[in-house]
Structure 1
Amino acid sequence: FVEATAEDLPFDDNSFDAVCSLFSFRDWYDKRAGLSEVLRVLKPGGIIVIVDPAKINRLHGVLGWLWMRIWVGTYARLVYSKSDHPWRWLTRTYSSFGTTRDYVRMLEEVGFTDVRAKVVFPGMATIWQGASP
């Protein structure tokens, strides 16, 4: 097990065939730097897959924030007796998370090819995928 941040991966160049981030991309401190590091450690033709909450557009983001703030927040308070429950942070990180298109563009700008995104019905998550050139 290796503990590191996405922005400073302790691996040699061209080390991996694939990198997957499952519901953690929104927590990366510097997403662009992290994606550059992933590109560095991927072998040519390697794949990145990111799955995180969807924000189709800004309106969808507002509705998603309300959903998390009201429904998820209320449910979490019922399940967790502490005021500092883990779901509280999901609402905070989601509110500063970009849209699906923002990260398609960022993946392309960093240098990934064949970038695509799929919003999973009913708009709860996005799956981004790209390849190392």
Structure 2
Amino acid sequence: MSKTVRPYQDSDATKKEQVASMFNNISGTYDFLNHFLSLGIDMIWRKIAIKELLTNKPALILDVATGTGDLAFEAIKTLNPEKIIGVDISDGMLSIARDKIKKRKMHEKFEVRLGDSEKLLFDNDTFDAVTVAFGVRNFENLEKGLSDMLRVLKPGGKVVILEFSKPKVFPVKQAYNFYFKYVTPTIGRIFSKDSSAYTYLPESVASFPDGENFNMLMQKVGYQNTKFRPLTFGICSIYTGVK
């Protein structure tokens, strides 16, 4: 069994505790670095992911690992649901999301709560859709997190997961590996107070079971009609499944 990839390998804290600390540390620069490091492509990925729900017209959406709320805001703009609830383990990230909600006067549409993605405090069969962007690879127990999202979905409800994957085509694979291994941590160190966070990023992507492996894990947990779709030469993928 490979060693669990955690942000701070010299710490005895659990992965979950470390991920919460890491995101609290980088919350102030997170949005800027996200857009900067991805050259703004992350915004396009979110738009594509949310369009997966257009035909479903979900009224109530749960956004897991909501962070600063970017995916939820995209969902509000595109899908106009009655309500989105965002859950995240990092209060630092949620405070940024709360500021955005206040600024955009969206408190009636979008509410955020501190919570564990693997122990969601909602009843079974509550949500029409569940979304996650760049969050599942930070789960301590991936299977448990996926199962709990399935539990809170209504029958017929859809999950949409956006996550980094590993490109397999030359020369994208080589360029991506170089960028992720050297450029990302360097820029992260310059702009963020937490250099470990941007070393953890490539490590967590490298150890994540992407593509068909993740698809099979979703099926194992109980999702139906699972599909995955690589974006931008496989740098990122969208996974969908139905309850």
1:21 is matched with which residue? 132
SS in 2 for 1:2: strand
Say whether 1:103 aligns with 2:228.
Answer: no
C-alpha separation in 1, matches of 2:223 and 2:184: 34
Residue 95 of structure 1 and its aligned partner are, at CA, apart by: 2.4
Give CA deviations for 1:99-128 in whole Å, capped at 9, x if unaligned. 211110000011100100000022210000
Which consecutive unaligned segments of at least 5 residues does structure 1 have?
none
Question: Is the contact made by 1:76 and 1:87 (CA closer than 8 Å) also made in structure 2?
Answer: yes
Specify which of 162, 184, 187 is matched with residue 72 of structure 1: 184
Provide closer, same or farther for how the CA distance between residues 56 and 105 of structure 1 changes in structure 2, counting only shifts above 3 A.
farther
Determine if contact 1:65/1:94 at 8 Å carries over to the other structure. Answer: no
Partner of 2:48: none
Q: Contact 2:223–2:242 at 8 Å: present in 1 too? A: yes
CA deviations on 1:33-66 (whole Å, 9 max, x unpaired) are 1111011100000010000101256x99x84444
Q: Quick one: distance in 1 between partners of 2:186 and 2:120? A: 37
Structure showing the higher helix proportion among its residues: 2
Aligned residue pairs total 129
CA distance in 2, matches of 1:81, 1:127: 28
Q: Please give the alpha-carbon distance, in whole angstroms, between the structure 2 residues aligned to 1:21 and 1:118.
A: 15
Distance (whole Å) between structure 1 residues aligned to residue 130 and residue 210 of structure 2:
21
Task: Quote how far apart the aligned CAs of 1:14 are.
Answer: 0.3
SS in 2 for 1:76: helix
Dislocated runs of 4+, deviation >6 Å: none
Tell whether 2:199 aligns with 1:88: yes
**Which gives a bigger RCO, structure 1 or 2 (Cα 8 Å, sep 6+)?**
1
Partner of 1:129: 240
Flag the structure with larger Rg.
Answer: 2
Task: Choose between structure 1 and 2: higher strand proportion.
Answer: 1
SS at the partner of 1:44?
Answer: strand
CA RMSD of aligned residues (A): 2.3
% identity of equivalent residues:
28
Which range moves more in the overlay, 95-104 or 110-119? Answer: 95-104
Q: Distance in 1 between matches of 2:151 and 2:224?
A: 14
TM superposition score normalised by structure 1: 0.84
Q: How big is each residue's C-alpha offset from its partner over 1:5-33, in whole Å with a ceiling of 9 and x where there is no partner?
A: 12111000000000000011110111101
